[in-house]
Amino acid sequence: MMKRMLTRVLTIFFICFFIENVAHAKPSSVEVWQEANKNNFNVHLKWEFQQGDRLFRTLNGDEWIEISIPKRENGFAVAKDTNNGNGFRPASIVYFEVRDANYQRELTKTKHNVRNAAVQETLKRVNVFIGTGGSTAENAHGNYVSNTNTCKSCHITHKAVGPKLNAASSVRALCATCHTAGLGGSRYAADWGGVVSRNGSLTASLAGPITTGTEKSGRFGTAAKANGPHGGKATSAHSYMDAHKAPGDSISGNRQMSCTSCHQGHINNNNYRLLKDINPNVVVEAYAVNVNGLEEKARYKSGMSSFCSQCHGDFHKGSSTGNVANNGIYVHPTDVNLLYKQGNKVERLTTMLPLENPFNLNNNNPNNSKSPQYENSTLTCITCHYGHGTAKVGTQKSNYGNGNSTMLKRTDNLGMCQECHQK
């Protein structure tokens, strides 16, 4: 008798456990389409609904608005976001997340509600570039529908010239087919460091230009013109081809570099820039804030310095200026907030350079930190350096054997020092 009862209890337990975990699995895909709303667009979303699913939307990564799920069709949730009847502007970017029942529980386990891999497993992100991809909102990197024809942008099934059925012989060449100025395949012209706005103009990108004009043939397109979005070609640029020794790298040899050293080809749940996840404890979370379709600003949330430290580990030394890198070289701290404390000295720094979690969005300027909430704003590698390249001038000597360079700096000479310290 007792044995039968125990068997029944265990059976019920395992059934409930199975149902619980199935019910809380995030959706594998979300179908998205757009419809015209006068000169703007509404967004529709559809996915296989599971108990506890909730839908949220943001324009900046901070202010998440829950979108009601008014109906279900044959087990699928169907939602429509009209942005309070106004629709979304062409060329703007809208982010949606379907969060399952475990999302909030996992998020509260993390420090300062910063997402980690466990949190990422409880949500499905959809990045919608309004007005692109036709009615389906597809792009080459994601939001694919069941009868998609977008895969052919990068892949050839039976006569490919590159590995992974790529339509180009190298990763660089494949990326360049869309991300070269003037080709029209993408709004992001990586070579010039430009973003095409809804009025057709080329505004400065968040990563800077990547071509210097001295590259070998076959790389990205020609270097930017003097009237380009960053004012000219790159004076220094990040390596994206061949083998190179990274300044501050912990390994002794070179690293083979390509676009996919930093980026992945398909959308992940963390950021619109396709930056790769680093490890289970660090999630690179970032957003492009572009509500009017004219200019993008970065909203960095977490993980940028740790991301850079994969190759430049000597420069990621923590929170005090007394830390020492390899070879006895002192380095500027990273991942520190703008409330600077040293002994009894307290200095409240301000800057217009990019920060993680800047407090004041200031009317679509998420990098403005001139507010009383200094503790919420964190200095990272990308505060002072572009990710792709810089057109700024003024070289400094590198102590890592790389000669003189402008080192991807965001300002001419050492103007970024004055940006914070204002001596």
Tell me the sheet residues that pair with 66. Answer: 56
Question: Is residue 41 pLDDT above 90, yes or no?
Answer: yes
User: pTM value?
Assistant: 0.84
- Fold of domain 22-138: Immunoglobulin-like (2.60.40)
pLDDT score at 347: 75
- Stretch among 64-73, 137-146, 186-195, 407-416 having the lowest mean pLDDT: 137-146
pLDDT score at 24: 54
Question: Is residue 228 pLDDT above 50, yes or no?
Answer: yes
| Mean of pLDDT values over 44-50 | 93
Q: Could you report the per-residue pLDDT of 93-146, keeping only the tens digit for each?
A: 999 999 999 988 888 877 766 777 788 888 888 889 998 766 777 888 888 888
Q: Could you report the per-residue pLDDT of 181-205, keeping only the tens digit for each?
A: 877 788 898 888 888 888 888 888 8
Give the domain ranges of the chain: 22-138, 239-423
- Stretch among 38-42, 79-83, 314-318, 350-354 having the lowest mean pLDDT: 314-318
Question: Is residue 84 pLDDT above 80, yes or no?
Answer: yes
Q: Could you report the per-residue pLDDT of 10-23, keeping only the tens digit for each?
A: 555 544 544 444 44
pLDDT score at 363: 41
State which of 107-111, 176-180, 335-339 shows the largest mean pLDDT.
176-180
| Mean of pLDDT values over 325-330 | 62
Which pLDDT band, with edges at 50, 70 and 90, does 280 fall under? low
Q: Could you report the per-residue pLDDT of 288-305, keeping only the tens digit for each?
A: 888 888 888 888 888 888
pLDDT score at 36: 93
